[in-house]
Amino acid sequence: MSEASLEVSSRCRINLEDETQDLRKKLGQIRSQLQKAQDRHAEAVRGIEMSKDHVQKLEVENAKLKVTVKKQADKIEQLQKNLLKKIMMKM
């Protein structure tokens, strides 16, 4: 093999090694970006789940309050009827 041929091969090898190094560096950066994106996604999913749980608790509480309001309205209506009966009986 001639000296020129060895020099070209050597330059090609060096270029390939440099390119390999650059690609490994880029791959590391992409992996890091992917990990950060996955972390953000996981955090968003946790936030959504927490929100769903909170909404569900509020719905249960709201249903209980509606029952309480209905009972109170029925009680008020009954008291008003009793009061009217007493007033009518005194007349």
Q: What is the mean pLDDT of residues 9-36?
A: 96
Q: How far is the C-alpha of 88 from the C-alpha of 91, rounded, in Å?
A: 5
**pTM for the model:** 0.62
* Secondary structure of residue 56 in the 3-state scheme: helix
Region 55-83 average pLDDT: 98
DSSP code of residue 2? -
More confident residue, 53 or 6: 53
